[in-house]
Structure 1
Amino acid sequence: MRAISAGLGAGFGAVLVAGGIRVLRDPLLRPPRLPHRRPKPWVLPLAGCAMASASLLAVRSSWPSRFTTPTLLGLAIPGGAGVVFEAVRLFNGFGWKRFGAWHGGGPDNVVVLGCALIDNAPSELLRRRLRAALEVAGPKTRCMVMSGGIGNDTGSTATISEAEAMAQWVRDRGGSQGGGTGLEGEPRGSSFRGAIVEEPVATNTSENIDFSLRELERACPNSSGIGLTVVVTSDFHVLRVRKLLREKGLDSWKAVGAYTPIRYWATSILREFLAQFILWAPKGSRRILRISTVTRRASN
């Protein structure tokens, strides 16, 4: 048990080191945001080295086990949680295609959550979300909401909103009766023929959901309801999106995740993994929901 605990602690420390090195080398990446501030880039590799070293020293130390065992178990908690998180992430990236309840025409609506742009074009992570959205949508899908404003938190130089870039990407590939450029390696067309709705204001996940709901209510004024809505994001983001949907009373909405390549584990996934600790902490949901301008306006 001590060896397993040490391995989990040292393994998570290695992830912090790898993520820190990637952040230091790529100017478009930043460390995960903690509750009150974003740490300096050098904090990640330093914390990883400290965590891995402490785990190895504790398991090999001659100190009494009443001191070393609690230390090992404490260091192993994030490592064990990371293993569980990774298993859930992989399921969210692959399982929705098999177990989705919207087969046979697609859901009524699809909401795509935005992320970083590079030179006013979707980044790889965002392109994967858009591909997944085209797979989820079907001929019965009425609306596809592209949600995302002009981000300023990743060092991006984008001058257009994420929503605008996403909508253009889908139209270029045949979505909603677009011409479809048939670019190599990209989908040539889609069975989606509904309306593409741009939501260019949201700057965080909570606002993504709130503003997309508002756009759907505007787009379906004469219907009996919004109907089945599927939110498409990255697989590492699905857990937080589902919790926010429950907190907002949108239990009928579904969330699916586009697969994230392993090279993004140490940055995007690490950020989301740390966000889970904040979200599930006491009053964590209230802290997350408070950042939504819709929630603030509703409370005033």
Structure 2
Amino acid sequence: MFVTVDEWSSRPRERWPLLRLACLLAGAVLLADGLVLMSMGLFSMGVTVPGALGLALCMLTWGWHPLQARLGRAGWTRRAWRAGWLLFLAWVASVALFWNALAGQVQAFNAAAGDVPLKAIIVLGSGTPNGQPSPALRARLDKARELAAAHPAAWVVVSGGVDFGETASEGRIMGDYLRAQGMAAERILQEERSTSTELNLRYSLPLLQAKGLGLTSPMAVVTSDFHTVRAQRIARRIGYTQSVVAGAPTPLYLRYNAWLREYFATASSWILGEV
């Protein structure tokens, strides 16, 4: 009635069936997530990495028996296999820690933005597919509208150049959206040349200086929640000493992909010394 060690090792299909099922389901979800978002034209590390992980999990789970048979032939392959899983789990833990720290920072930023007597609000651009603000950009603009309502004397700068394949600038599309939502046209300043966060902030400065404001004026930089930490660091590096950032919620369908993308972007910026 007892199973020997040899018999147990010869029946890998019977080991941890619930774990294998969980891996297969997780892989299917990650793969579907990546494929759906890529079909929408979204390609980033936050999209392709989950898709690749999902494909790998599905393949490894589906081919578990022959893979286990091959790995069992040599001790070094088993050790390498285990080390690979340990590294993967360590990476997952690092992503979870990053997300937790980022969520806390976003909450602190938004609380601080409500306590500052703002003189200006800079809205960073994002995608404008078919000449319309993307869901993420609409969330940023709606966040800016909230701040503008609370600070009626603050100028609102919408910043962004022309998207690839587009003819209208992000700044113009963002300005049109705010005007359509009832914001007074005379308080909207449009910056229409920038193609990055740093250029958003640099090119917005002359518009603010023309209104008597500068790097030391209290202002809010509005961006998506996942982007707040990097945006604040870039603003500080440029010289915006009194700026605060306000994070708009990322649409749910893209939220975890965007936060994963920010994990890689933050790591890359840190390695390259950009922030």
TM-score by length of 1: 0.67
d(CA) in 2 for partners of 1:240 and 1:139?
25
2:202 to 179, 200, 210: 210
Q: Which residue number corresponds to residue 166 of structure 2? A: 158
d(CA) in 1 for partners of 2:197 and 2:214?
27
Q: Which residue number corresponds to residue 140 of structure 2? A: 129
CA contact (8 A) 2:113 2:244 kept: no
10-19 vs 228-237, greater mean Cα deviation: 10-19
d(CA) in 2 for partners of 1:117 and 1:252?
29
Q: Which residue number corresponds to residue 37 of structure 2? A: 23
Partner AA of 2:179 in structure 1: R
Indicate yes or no: 2:207 matched with 1:219: no
Offset, 1:96: 4.5
Aligned-partner SS, 2:274: helix
Q: Which residue number corresponds to residue 170 of structure 1? A: 178
Offset, 1:114: 0.8
Offset, 1:216: 1.7
Q: Which residue number corresponds to residue 100 of structure 2? A: 87
2:56 to 43, 50, 56: 50
Partner AA of 2:127 in structure 1: A
2:220 to 209, 212, 230: 230
d(CA) in 2 for partners of 1:70 and 1:246?
40
Q: Quickly say closer, same or farther: Cα 1:95–1:78, change in 2 above 3 A.
A: same
Offset, 1:91: 4.3
Offset, 1:205: 1.3
Q: Quickly say closer, same or farther: Cα 1:231–1:83, change in 2 above 3 A.
A: same
1:239-290 deviation line (CA, Å, top 9, x unaligned): 2212222333334311121011221035433332221121121x3417xxxx
Partner AA of 1:219 in structure 2: K
d(CA) in 2 for partners of 1:273 and 1:12?
20
Q: Quickly say closer, same or farther: Cα 1:211–1:201, change in 2 above 3 A.
A: same
Aligned-partner SS, 2:228: helix
81-90 vs 62-71, greater mean Cα deviation: 62-71
Unaligned 5+ residue runs, structure 1? 1-5, 34-40, 179-193, 287-300
1:213-259 deviation line (CA, Å, top 9, x unaligned): 23222322xx6865111100001111221222233333431112101
Aligned-partner SS, 1:219: coil
Indicate yes or no: 2:222 matched with 1:244: no
1:185-208 deviation line (CA, Å, top 9, x unaligned): xxxxxxxxx721100000111211
- Counterparts of 1:1-300 in structure 2, within 5 Å, are 17-26=31-40, 28-32=41-45, 45-50=51-56, 67-68=80-81, 70-91=83-104, 96-97=109-110, 99-103=111-115, 106-137=117-148, 138-139=150-151, 141-152=153-164, 157-175=165-183, 177=184, 195-220=187-212, 226-281=216-271, 283-285=272-274
Partner AA of 1:78 in structure 2: W
Offset, 1:168: 1.4
Q: Quickly say closer, same or farther: Cα 1:168–1:114, change in 2 above 3 A.
A: same
d(CA) in 2 for partners of 1:79 and 1:13?
14
Unaligned 5+ residue runs, structure 2? 1-18
Q: Quickly say closer, same or farther: Cα 1:103–1:242, change in 2 above 3 A.
A: closer
Instruction: Report percent identity of matched pairs.
Output: 26
d(CA) in 2 for partners of 1:255 and 1:265?
19
265-274 vs 238-247, greater mean Cα deviation: 265-274
- C-alpha RMSD of the superposition: 3.7
Q: Which residue number corresponds to residue 184 of structure 1? A: none
Higher helix proportion (structure 1 or 2): 2
d(CA) in 2 for partners of 1:276 and 1:12?
26
TM-score by length of 2: 0.72
